[in-house]
């Protein structure tokens, strides 16, 4: 199975799409304002002790206070706290972790008030991003993830991924890392480290250790917590770190700086695959060019259709996600066999649902109402199909067989809010009031804005992004409106069909890709 990764860098952030056999299976969108990402480490301060919950709230700078449970303090919590106190007591002196003293492990069963007190400074790492009304979830068991290794301060053991089955390889990796790891560091060897040479592992280990040293330096400079002292690599590189494999056919990027960062990263972890990274220079938006936009709009609505006219209805609530399976107007091959048709629809729904869970990154509890089936073998076949489909999902999950009510319960690891894109289009002119300006006057309004842009503002080279239907109208005929505008206002005008825009929506961009706001007061949504 071949996969492609498409990276769309835009003014609001970065969007990343992963396709398998040209079908969209994962979509991640990182806004520039999102700062509380999984993996970030903060020098925070305990805000409130909650003995009833055996937890506390920590100030890390988020709008909602972050949550830290006693069980998430980690076995080496006291060692970390002693080291933190040493580091902050003398902000000019260097304190190598190799010389740090290891304290007795924290008791598995204990009270949060015994370990922490209000106002205490603490090092914490985000394990779950803020979701709905909840703040970030924290841990004190710090870790630094690389492609091959995970580095854990104040541990001493080397663990090897259980997915590496060969006893010889497990022994080799364990002995190798034991011989090169620094004192007072533990290591988890990831699955992709299988067969890797000592030079590659040592290089990454040094990089991870340097991340820890940089963190210590920032802690010493952090005089007024909360302060972020370690930021997880950007989403593009983090995704590559976790997902990169030889099955990638290509990686397409539309931004030169991100292209260079990805190329540099891949040249380190897989030099033989550098050539699959390609810089997209087309005028059309990158997601439109690769057919991603259409798939997004067809996959993120409340109702998702799949083969034969059947469809899923997906509802999101505070507590769980609910999915209803409907046969719709599906044409039955065998009208006399309702059971067989129900099985066929349910199997197709299982295929689409597994894709939707990955695509939307739905986590927590998912309850699925499949079409009722009487035969036990059909119910078992559906369960096996769902289990097989979810086997490609990286997130931890658990699937229960169908209940007697025909419901399937799924739990899936939730570390960030589910991706829920609004795909229904509102009128950009009336903003849902039910009336719009005469559409036949739209091109005249556009020409007026072009004239202002060229003659008054002085922007001679620009791109006008409009809905594909509008673009087709502007460019139709031998002497099109597009040609008339070029002859009248200069050849620097480019009209781009942009599928993500609503009908009669438009955007102007200068030659550097910066948006030029040409909207009038009457066009701005109140």
pLDDT tens digits, 31-56: 765 565 778 899 999 999 998 899 99
Per CATH, the number for 41-230 is: 2.40.50.140
CATH architecture of structural domain 301-412: 3-Layer(aba) Sandwich (3.40)
- Per the CB < 8 A criterion, the answer to whether 190 and 149 are in contact is yes
pLDDT higher than 70, residue 525 = no
pLDDT, tens only, 246-283: 677 888 999 898 888 888 878 877 778 888 899 999 88
Residue that wins the pLDDT comparison between 29 and 194:
194
The number of C-alpha atoms within 13 Å of 372 and in the hemisphere containing its C-beta is: 3
- Per the CB < 8 A criterion, the answer to whether 148 and 81 are in contact is no
User: Does domain 3-34+235-294 sit in CATH 3.30.420?
Assistant: yes
Pick from 13-27, 318-332, 431-445 the range whose average pLDDT is largest.
13-27
Q: Whole-number mean pLDDT of the chain?
A: 85
The number of C-alpha atoms within 13 Å of 439 and in the hemisphere containing its C-beta is: 9
3-class secondary structure, 307: helix
pLDDT of residue 526: 47
- The structural domains of the chain, with segments of one domain joined by +, span 3-34+235-294, 41-230, 301-412, 439-523
Average pLDDT over residues 298-320: 83
pLDDT of residue 437: 65
Average pLDDT over residues 77-106: 86
pLDDT of residue 42: 92
Q: Is the pTM of this model over 0.85?
A: no
Long-range CB contacts for residues 19-22, cutoff 8 Å, separation at least 24: 19/290, 19/292, 22/291
Q: Is the peptide bond before 12 cis (omega within 30 degrees of 0)?
A: no
| Degrees, nearest 5: CA angle 268-273-277 | 100
The number of C-alpha atoms within 13 Å of 230 and in the hemisphere containing its C-beta is: 24
CATH T-level fold of 439-523:
hypothetical protein PF0899 fold (3.30.2320)
pLDDT band for 524, please (50, 70, 90 cuts): low
pLDDT higher than 60, residue 521 = no
pLDDT of residue 409: 94
């Amino acid at each position: 199975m071949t996969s492609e990764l498409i990276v769309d860098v835009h003014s609001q952030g970065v969007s990343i799409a992963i396709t398998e056999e040209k079908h969209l299976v994962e979509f991640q969108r990182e806004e520039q304002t999102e700062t509380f990402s999984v993996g970030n480490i903060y020098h925070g301060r305990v805000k409130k002790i909650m003995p009833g919950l055996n937890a506390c709230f920590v100030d890390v700078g988020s709008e909602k206070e972050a949550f830290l449970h006693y069980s998430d303090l980690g076995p080496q919590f006291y060692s970390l706290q002693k080291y933190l106190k040493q580091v902050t007591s003398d902000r000019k002196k260097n304190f190598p972790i190799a010389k740090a003293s290891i304290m007795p492990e924290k008791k598995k069963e204990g009270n949060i008030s015994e370990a922490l007190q209000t106002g205490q400074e603490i090092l914490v790492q985000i394990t779950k991003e803020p979701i709905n009304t909840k703040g970030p979830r924290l841990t004190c068991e710090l870790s630094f993830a690389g492609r091959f290794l995970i580095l854990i301060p104040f541990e001493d053991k080397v663990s090897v991924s259980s997915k590496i089955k060969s006893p010889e390889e497990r022994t080799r990796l364990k002995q190798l890392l034991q011989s090169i790891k620094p004192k007072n560091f533990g290591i988890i060897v990831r699955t992709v480290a299988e067969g890797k040479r000592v030079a590659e592992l040592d290089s990454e280990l040094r990089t991870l250790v340097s991340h820890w040293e940089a963190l210590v330096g920032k802690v010493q400079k952090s005089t007024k917590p909360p302060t972020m002292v370690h930021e997880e690599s950007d989403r593009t590189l983090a995704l590559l770190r976790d997902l990169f494999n030889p099955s990638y056919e290509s990686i397409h990027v539309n931004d030169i700086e991100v292209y260079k960062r990805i190329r540099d990263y891949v040249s380190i972890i897989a030099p033989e695959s550098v050539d699959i990274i390609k810089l997209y220079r087309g005028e059309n938006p990158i997601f439109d060019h690769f057919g991603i936009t259409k798939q997004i709009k067809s996959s993120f609505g409340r109702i998702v259709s799949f083969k034969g006219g059947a469809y899923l209805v997906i509802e999101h609530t505070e507590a769980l996600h609910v999915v209803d399976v409907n046969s719709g107007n599906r044409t039955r091959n065998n009208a006399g066999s309702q059971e067989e048709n129900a099985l066929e629809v349910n199997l197709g729904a299982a295929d689409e649902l597994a894709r939707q869970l990955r695509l939307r990154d739905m986590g927590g509890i998912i309850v699925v109402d499949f079409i009722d089936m009487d035969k036990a073998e059909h119910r078992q076949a559906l369960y096996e199909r769902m289990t097989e489909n979810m086997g490609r999902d990286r997130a931890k999950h658990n699937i229960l067989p169908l209940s007697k009510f025909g419901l399937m319960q799924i739990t899936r690891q939730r570390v960030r809010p589910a991706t829920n894109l609004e795909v229904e289009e509102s009128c950009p002119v009336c903003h849902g009031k039910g009336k719009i300006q005469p559409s036949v006057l739209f091109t005249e309004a556009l020409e007026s804005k072009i004239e202002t842009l060229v003659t008054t503002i002085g922007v001679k080279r620009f791109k006008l992004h409009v809905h594909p239907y509008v673009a087709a109208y502007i460019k139709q005929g031998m002497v099109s409106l597009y040609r008339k505008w070029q002859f009248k206002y200069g050849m620097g005008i480019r009209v781009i069909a942009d599928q993500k825009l609503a009908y009669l929506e438009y955007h102007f961009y200068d030659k550097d890709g910066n948006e030029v706001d040409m909207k009038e007061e009457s066009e701005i949504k109140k």
